[in-house]
Amino acid sequence: MPGPAVSTDPPVPQNWSPRMLRNPRRREAALLGVSAVSTIQMVDPSLNSTALPRAAEGLDMSSGTMTLAASIATLLLAASMLGTGSLGDLRGRRKVLLAGALAAVVGCLVTALAGNGAVFLIGRIVTGIGTAAAFGMSLAIIPLLFHPRELPRAFGIWLGVQGIMIVVACIGGGLLVTHFSWRIGYLVIPVIGLIATTWAYLTVPDSRAEKARRFDTVGVLLAALALICLIEGFSQVGAHGWLSPVTLGLMAAAVVLFGLFAVWERRVDEPAFPMELFASRPFVAAIVVGVVFNLGNAAVTMQYPLMVQGTLGKSAFVSSIVIAMFGAGSIGGAFGAGAFQTRRGISDRAMFVSGLGIIAVALLAMAFTTEHTPLWLFLATSTVIGFGVTWAQNPQSTVMMRSVPSSMVGSVGAIKPAVGQMGMGLGLGGLIPVVNTFTASSSGTPQHAAARGFGLGMLLVAVFLAVAALVIWRMMRPRRDDDPATIPNRATTEPAERAQAAARTDEPA
């Protein structure tokens, strides 16, 4: 039986414009606005990976400059998340959302018009900071507009819109770069960004923390430096291995900085991040799930193109179609997970485990890849992995944001993309050496060796995901002393529990 109807009013007071205040569908309009803005962060990496080789050739970049151009936006995105999230909580989330989207537009314009490598890098830096603000605030605003029971459906729409744009960007961006110019490829983001910013400006309400607090400069800097060291350390693994002095130094620095961040946040009166959330098993499980399903993401986005182009001999455009199928699958997973969990009352625990299981099965199907493996299998498994990623990502978003104090949604929202970057970085650092090692130890033609290395790498990731699913199943096992209001494990809960969750969401920190 369906549960009691949820109020159409948002759980937290919003500063609506007079025009939107008269619109009975204002929450849905605002959701589409923040979803559209969030697509900037989804589309930009795909376009950059497609256009960068041609841009490097056209601007005569050195190999070092090209490597930096490939990663600088990601580094700045991760480093800026907590700072821009805190700024949104303190100064206005809509303001930071719009400012971030416009910064991404400006950054891509600078990149598209760059006359040398230095200007190109400046554009990528501005883009990274802008996407951090835009994406973090789009995530933070959703739990302020929708009650806990409505979040699976809301995040399903948010992720579904992103999946649609991944498909459009992979196919459209690939065609533009291939048949016209790399500069036109970088102009896709300004077009998307301006449309999304206009829609968000007209529909999204403003809100901020009810209680003013100081900006935690020390905490924000420590988190930024720790993430930069960690992600750059993962990238060095792919180039120099795990035992490289550079890799070990960066990893050690990341551990020390994260430790200092944790100590500082627990001792400061007004922290940037509520460290007590790490006492919640579902919250920690959601973080683990985010790292793990991004390994599957990395397998598709980093290893599939190498196999399709280098071993099967297909064109870059065909490779972009394979990635586009990942986006197509993610659309189904996003919309399907939200609707299925809401209607059936499936636990977050079951959603996590089934999502990771779907990814593991698809990767297992690639374990016996050869140089003669048909293209359709890459297309099919890419689609299934995309489905599994968003099937797990939907409840991950819900769990992470459901019980956050309304005054700190921006700060806590920053951790989700940071976790995603950690998972992708681990995929980069872990997959490349493993695949290369298996390839080097395989006999036969270079194509056969590459296919064998790829297959064994996919097998290893599949086993890792299966083990992680079992760990998550045990980690989220209900206990008698669990408070269902603070650790919600179902999309539909009993009326009393829903009331407690909603009341807690309404309370200022």
Residue 495: pLDDT over 60:
no
Q: Which is more confidently placed, 213 or 101?
A: 101
Cβ burial, residue 142 (10 Å; 0-12/13-18/19+) = buried
Nearest to 336 by CA among 157, 145, 142, 150: 157
Residue 345: pLDDT over 90:
no
Distance separating alpha carbons of residues 381 and 358, to the nearest angstrom: 10
pLDDT band with cut points at 50, 70 and 90 for residue 491: very low
| DSSP secondary structure letter of residue 353 | H
Lowest mean per-residue pLDDT among 64-68, 200-204, 259-263, 278-282: 64-68
pLDDT for 182 equals 84
Q: Work out the mean pLDDT of the chain and round it to a whole number.
A: 82
User: Does the reported pTM lie above 0.85?
Assistant: no
The model's pLDDT over 28-75, given as tens digits with 9 standing for 90+, comes to: 999 999 999 999 988 888 788 778 888 888 888 887 788 778 778 888
Bridge partner residues of 15 (DSSP): 206
Distance separating alpha carbons of residues 325 and 330, to the nearest angstrom: 8
Element (H, E) at 236: helix 217-240
Q: Which residues contact 405 (CB under 8 A, 6 or more apart)?
A: 274, 507, 508, 509
pLDDT for 470 equals 94
pLDDT for 199 equals 95
